[in-house]
Amino acid sequence: MSDTIVTSIPGQATPQHAAAPVVPAATPRALPGTGTVSLPMTKALNAGLRQAMRDDPKVLLMGEDIGPLGGVFRVTEGLFAEFGDKRVLDTPLAESGIIGTAIGLALRGYRPVCEIQFDGFVFPGFDQITSQLARMRNRHEGEVIMPVVIRIPYGGHIGSIEHHQESPETYFAHTPGLRVVSPSNPHDAYWMMQEAIASDDPVIFFEPKSRYWPKGEVNLADSGAALHASRVVRSGTDATVVGHGAMVSVLLQAAELAAVEGTSIEVIDLRSISPIDYGPILASVEKTGHLVVAQEAHGFVSVGSEIAATVMEKAFYLLEAPVLRVSGFDTPFPPAAVETHFLPSPDRVLEAVDRALSY
Amino acid sequence: MTATPASSPTVRLLSPEGVFAPSESAAEFLPYLDRLTEADYRRFYRDMVVVRRFDTEAANLQRQGQLALWVPSHGQEAAQVGSAYATRPQDHVFPSYREHVVGMIRGLDPVDILRMLRGVTLGGWTPEDHGNFHLYTLVLASQTLHATGYAMGMQLDGATATGNPETDQAVIVYYGDGASSQGDANEALVFAASYQTPQVFFLQNNHWAISVPVTRQSRTPLYLRAAGFGMPGTQIDGNDVLASYAVTAKHLDDARAGHGPALIEALTYRVGAHTTADDPTKYRDPEQLAYWVARDPIVRFRSYLQGLGVEQEFLEAVDEEADDYAADVRRRALDIHSPDKTVIFDNVYAEPHPLIQEQQAWLDRYEASFEGGDA
């Protein structure tokens, strides 16, 4: 039966997974250094993945084009050579298949890290993530863990085509059983990736594409903070602005511009949007009395809405003005030619800060 | 309706009348019958009779308000019993939600299935303590991918294809003709073929996906789809317990020996309703039902056993045992207790989650405010 079915095309090589295992490189590539080095986020993520794979043989990578190519963003570059095709799996082109088989591998004791190639391509795997991955532990009454990381490059500012610039994090933050994080800088990317892989819960790891290439200082010896700890990245006294991922650099630019005009803005990097660490936010609001939440995602039923509601519930008397949101509009992500009108800019953030302060 | 003359590709060992009359297509599977003893035959029969009686009892419990829902397996006993006995202890079984007797054969107490359908748990058992029989999956075909991923893990562990069938592991996953249309079922076949997983896809074609006939799912016999994915496909008479056993045993052993996945389409029939919420009289032709009732898997195997000289006392003892079994299930089903409300919050996450903790603490305070207080 099976021998009558021809699957290989004459003249073409056998698919690599059917061939002998690829022998790992004799000398594994070293991490980029041992102290503090300057790396783009792609390389910091790569270093985090490499460290996690060295630390735990159960960690494996799955995704489309992540093997010899190293992923379309090269985040997994060199890992196929170091760890071979049993730890870095180039999968068939099917997102539900990637997530669904990752669940099976997790039941078997593995810690799969799945790459979704672009934000807009996660939806074919949405059912496996929300109906299966997120609930497996709960359905098993705590008898299993689901240490699966799903890496999703996301967000705009890269001038790309439809389905390549989206911010779908709210869908996942709304789903019980998932953890959702997003680093804003290379150093956080390095340690947050390792923390996400070490977590016994599924973690949706949103990587801000527009921050993939700018370099930043990465301390390779720093084990980082708790995965879900938000952080004050710039101190200020007049207003608090909060965001995650690529928005953090927009907020820092806004704070810089405001400082010139004499307005002191405190900037908070959420780092995690499920759960949200409200401690630093509430402490900051106590100081400033004004809060603006910014995000690339659509504002309707969003992380910004959630933070606005929660801060209002928990700190109503600390507020001197309504919490304001700055978001992508509630439209499909537009053609790239007009994306700058869609995406929150430093000026749009400052417009909201001004409204809050003049209340 | 599917006729299965001797020349058809459908593998059949027993005629509907219970006469051993293998189809030509059965030749390569016949050696696997040598593994069976008369005691096995008696077990096959006993399990089919017991699960049908259990099935009736569970439906009664639902009608009496003791279960939220029941999912009958009436008519599919041969497909399930034969394939389940073909598994080895080290194998892993990923069911859909109608494979009650497969679970029982793997060591599951069927009252655990009732716990889920009574609404006291979302799962019901620990697979590793119950013959590696994984949890029921209610979203159609989702489990096909979990099974494939699990089989990939067996390969990565080196737990299969070592040449020792006593320890080499394999996976069997159950799904149906309706689920065969799901994207996940097809992606699972793609992944399984690509990675050559040690895995059998056991497709029970019971001819109905609630009210929609299999002809709406496929213009081609479902086993033929296997060739398009690059794996062997075998169609069996699913009401022939010996065909189900022999074909599954061969494909599972081929899988565990490193020859990759295979698909079995078992032609059977959902004699009962889809669930207790369904009314098949609204959409099914009574003549079709009569055709399949006349091909009842239990009647067929009983005739075969009688031909072998199995004594009437055995058959009567099985009926009696089935009644006792059902009575015991009923008694224990009525004794299922509701869980504490902490299950709402327990095990949503493995690690502490502030929102969940906050909400649990709030519910405790809120409900305590009614107890003897002036709230």
Each residue's pLDDT tens digit, A45-88: 999 999 999 999 999 999 999 999 999 999 999 999 999 999 99
- pLDDT at site A7: 38
- pLDDT at site A10: 41
If DSSP codes are grouped into helix, strand and coil, which group holds residue A219?
strand
Q: What is the pLDDT of residues B94-105, one digit of tens each?
A: 999 999 999 999
Confidence category of residue A32, pLDDT binned at 50, 70, 90? low
List the single residue in A17, A94, A105 with the smallest CB-CB distance to B149. A105
- pLDDT at site B372: 66
The interface predicted TM-score of the complex, written ipTM, equals 0.96
* Nearest-angstrom CA–CA distance, B166 and B337: 40
- Chain B: residue whose CA lies nearest to A145: B350
The pLDDT of residue A126 is above 50: yes
Q: Are A318 and A302 in contact (CB under 8 A)?
A: no
Q: Are A183 and A247 in contact (CB under 8 A)?
A: no
Are residues A100 and B188, on separate chains, in Cβ contact within 8 Å?
Answer: yes
Are residues B126 and A140, on separate chains, in Cβ contact within 8 Å?
Answer: yes
Residue numbers in B near A179 (CB within 8 A):
349, 353
Q: What is the pLDDT of residues B285-309, one digit of tens each?
A: 999 999 999 999 999 999 999 999 9
Q: For every residue of chain B, which 3-state class applies, written as one string?
A: CCCCCCCCCCECCECCCCCECCCHHHHHHHHHHHHCCHHHHHHHHHHHHHHHHHHHHHHHHHHCCCCCCCCCCCCCHHHHHHHHHHCCCCCEEECCCCCHHHHHHCCCCHHHHHHHHHCCCCCCCCHHHCCCECCCCCCCCHHHHHHHHHHHHHHHHCCCCCCCCCCCCCEEEEEECCHHHCHHHHHHHHHHHHHCCCEEEEEEECCEECCEEHHHHCCCCHHHHHHHHCCCEEEEECCCHHHHHHHHHHHHHHHHHHHCCEEEEEECCCCCCCCCCCCHHHCCCHHHHHHHHCCCHHHHHHHHHHHHCCCHHHHHHHHHHHHHHHHHHHHHHHCCCCCCHHHHCCCCCCCCCHHHHHHHHHHHHHHHCCCCCCC
Are residues B196 and A18, on separate chains, in Cβ contact within 8 Å?
Answer: yes
Q: Fold identical between A37-219 and A231-357?
A: yes
Q: What is the mean pLDDT of residues B342-365?
A: 96
Q: What is the mean pLDDT of residues B329-341?
A: 96
Amino acid identity, residue B294? A
- pLDDT at site A225: 85
Higher pLDDT pick, B235 / A221 = B235
Residue numbers in B near A60 (CB within 8 A):
156
Residue numbers in A near B346 (CB within 8 A):
141-142
Active site residues of A: 164
Residue B213 φ then ψ, to 5°: -75, 160
User: What 8-state DSSP symbol labels residue A330?
Assistant: S
Confidence category of residue B7, pLDDT binned at 50, 70, 90? low
- Residue at token pair 């298949």: A97
Chain mean position to CA B321: 22
Domain B24-334, classified CATH 3.40.50.880, yes or no: no
Q: What is the pLDDT of residues B100-134, one digit of tens each?
A: 999 999 999 999 999 999 999 999 999 999 999 99
Classify A231-357 by CATH class. Answer: alpha beta
- Chain A: residue whose CA lies nearest to B344: A138
**Percent of chain A surpassing pLDDT 70:** 91
Nearest to B79 by CA among B231, B233, B298: B298
Q: What is the mean pLDDT of residues A113-125?
A: 97
Are residues B184 and A143, on separate chains, in Cβ contact within 8 Å?
Answer: no
Confidence category of residue A19, pLDDT binned at 50, 70, 90? very low
Domain edges within chain A? 37-219, 231-357
- pLDDT at site A328: 98
List the single residue in B195, B232, B351 with the smallest CB-CB distance to A201. B351
Q: What is the mean pLDDT of residues B351-373?
A: 92
List the single residue in B123, B190, B354 with the smallest CB-CB distance to A139. B123
The pLDDT of residue B284 is above 80: yes
Q: What is the mean pLDDT of residues A181-191?
A: 97
Cβ contacts of B309 within 8 Å, gap of 6 or more? none
The pLDDT of residue A6 is above 80: no
Confidence category of residue A302, pLDDT binned at 50, 70, 90? very high
Are residues A1 and B343, on separate chains, in Cβ contact within 8 Å?
Answer: no
- pLDDT at site A163: 96
Are residues A131 and B142, on separate chains, in Cβ contact within 8 Å?
Answer: yes
- pLDDT at site A16: 41
Q: What is the mean pLDDT of residues B25-29?
A: 97
Q: What is the mean pLDDT of residues B150-155?
A: 98
The Cβ of residue A259 has, within 10 Å, a number of other Cβ atoms equal to 13
The pLDDT of residue A3 is above 80: no
Are residues B153 and A138, on separate chains, in Cβ contact within 8 Å?
Answer: no
* Nearest-angstrom CA–CA distance, A345 and B325: 70
The pLDDT of residue A21 is above 80: no
Confidence category of residue B25, pLDDT binned at 50, 70, 90? very high
Q: Are A208 and A45 in contact (CB under 8 A)?
A: no
Helical ranges in chain A per DSSP H: 41-55, 79-83, 95-107, 126-127, 136-139, 169-173, 186-198, 247-260, 279-288, 303-315, 339-342, 346-357
- pLDDT at site A2: 39
Nearest to B55 by CA among B68, B74, B79, B69: B74
Nearest to A110 by CA among A164, A147, A68: A147
Architecture of domain A37-219: 3-Layer(aba) Sandwich (3.40)
Residue numbers in A near B262 (CB within 8 A):
2
- pLDDT at site A13: 42
- Chain A: residue whose CA lies nearest to B226: A2
Report the mean per-residue pLDDT for chain A: 92
The pLDDT of residue A25 is above 60: no
- Chain B: residue whose CA lies nearest to A94: B187
**Residue from A7, A107, A179 to probe the interface with B (highest B Cβ count within 10 Å):** A107
Q: What is the pLDDT of residues B184-212, one digit of tens each?
A: 999 999 999 999 999 999 999 999 999 99
Report the mean per-residue pLDDT for chain B: 95
Q: Which residues of B176-196 are buried (b: 16+ CB within 10 A; e: fewer)?
A: bbbbbbbebbbbbbbbbbbbb
Confidence category of residue B144, pLDDT binned at 50, 70, 90? very high
**Residue from B130, B190, B194 to probe the interface with A (highest A Cβ count within 10 Å):** B194
**Percent of chain A surpassing pLDDT 90:** 88
The pLDDT of residue B78 is above 70: yes
Confidence category of residue A222, pLDDT binned at 50, 70, 90? confident
